[in-house]
Structure 1
Amino acid sequence: MEKWFNVGKIVNTHGIRGEVRVISRTDFPEERYKVGNVLNLFLPKSNTPIELTIKNHRSHKNFELLTFEGLENINDVEKFRDGILKVPESQLGDLEEDEFYFHEIIGCHVVTVNGEEIGKITEILTPGANDVWVVKGKGGKELLIPYIHDVVKKVDVKEKVIVIDPMEGLF
């Protein structure tokens, strides 16, 4: 069975010419929303995807605005509100060395170079210069780990283990 990955949610229409507002959930909006790309729309209460080909893409405020081929006015796209845009695993692109998809990192166990168990990654924040991994530690305490080479020493997504060397004051 094909595994699907969420790349955005249609939250509203925009104007009367078939444009939709999307809250993006992808690290690569320029690539993912490129004209001609195909996205699959999953509507609430339906497990059958609707295949949509991107006709136009632009960014506006905190949204991605998309139009799809063959859907030229607001009446065509109003029913898409609250739909989730997804791509199959086969459409995930190859990444550079030391780059990972969020789904590969979330759920990984974090240990120190000394073998001390820290916790499990539950979320990834993207505040700016580098990502920050949220780790649920012992007793439910959340720890923030910056994804920088000084701290993260090894990432093994197959074994779901990340080795860190915590700098002074990190915990």
Structure 2
Amino acid sequence: MKVIVINSTPINPIVIGRIKGAYGILGWVKILSFTEKIEDIFVYNPWFIFFRSKWKVIKLEYWRLMNNKNYIVKFFNVSDRNHAMALSQHNLVVESIQFPKLYNKDEYYWKDIIGCKIMTINGKCLGRVISIIDTKAHDILVVRSEEYGFTKYVDCLIPFILKKIIKDVDLIKNIVVVDWEIYKF
């Protein structure tokens, strides 16, 4: 398989999408965008994939919207279904410096929230954010507590509702303050 390679490795890789699978016989692939607006995935360039134990840059040749919510793309030098299938289930990654700088204290990227410590308004540490679930109603923080030891942990789901539940986000201290209690049964 011949993929355009630039001698570059992302220093702070951020996943912005995923190659879902081959589309047709001419090397097109279906992609899933993780950006807030699905079309914003095309704002970022270049895309990287971790393919066969190496970072590779993949270059878009064409893209188009299918059924109002999914995109298909054609990469340079991917010319048939077999090549497209080899790329299936790989994450689409960009360098984090491509994201616009945020100047407002109340603005942040989800990538900046992941890893933050979650503290209650009473000063109790609930754990650290390990991921964020996107739902139609609101986003959910997945918080992992390690209070049961290094090998056992408990995950807690906390809705990301500003002012009501999320009281403060301090990215300098890596702390999110929440009005939330965990009840043990």
With the shorter chain as reference, the TM-score category is: 0.7 to 0.9
Which position in structure 1 is the counterpart of 2:123? 115
> Given the two structures, how large is their TM-score scaled by the length of structure 1?
0.77
The AA in structure 1 aligned to 2:63 is N
Task: Find out whether 1:141 has 2:149 as its counterpart.
Answer: no
CA RMSD of superposed structures (Å): 2.9
> Given the two structures, how large is their TM-score scaled by the length of structure 2?
0.72
| Range that drifts further, 51-60 or 119-128 | 51-60
Alignment of 1:150-165 (within 5 A): 150-165=164-179
For residues 16-60 of structure 1, give each alpha carbon's deviation from its aligned partner in whole angstroms, at most 9, with x where no partner exists. Answer: 3432012333334211135xx534232432424223135213245
Where structure 1 has 5 or more consecutive residues not aligned to the other structure, the ranges are none
Pair 1:28–1:158, CA change in 2 (3 A): farther
Pair 1:81–1:143, CA change in 2 (3 A): closer
SS of residue matched to 1:66 = strand
Moved over 6 A (4+): none
Alignment of 1:14-163 (within 5 A): 14-33=23-42, 38-53=45-60, 55-60=62-67, 63-68=70-75, 73-74=80-81, 77-94=84-101, 97=104, 98-137=106-145, 138-139=147-148, 140-148=153-161, 149-163=163-177
Where structure 2 has 5 or more consecutive residues not aligned to the other structure, the ranges are 1-9
- 2:17/2:41 contact within 8 Å kept: no
- Percent identity over paired residues: 25
Pair 1:73–1:99, CA change in 2 (3 A): farther
| Range that drifts further, 110-119 or 91-100 | 91-100
- Equivalent residue pairs, number: 167
- 2:21/2:84 contact within 8 Å kept: no
| Range that drifts further, 78-87 or 152-161 | 78-87
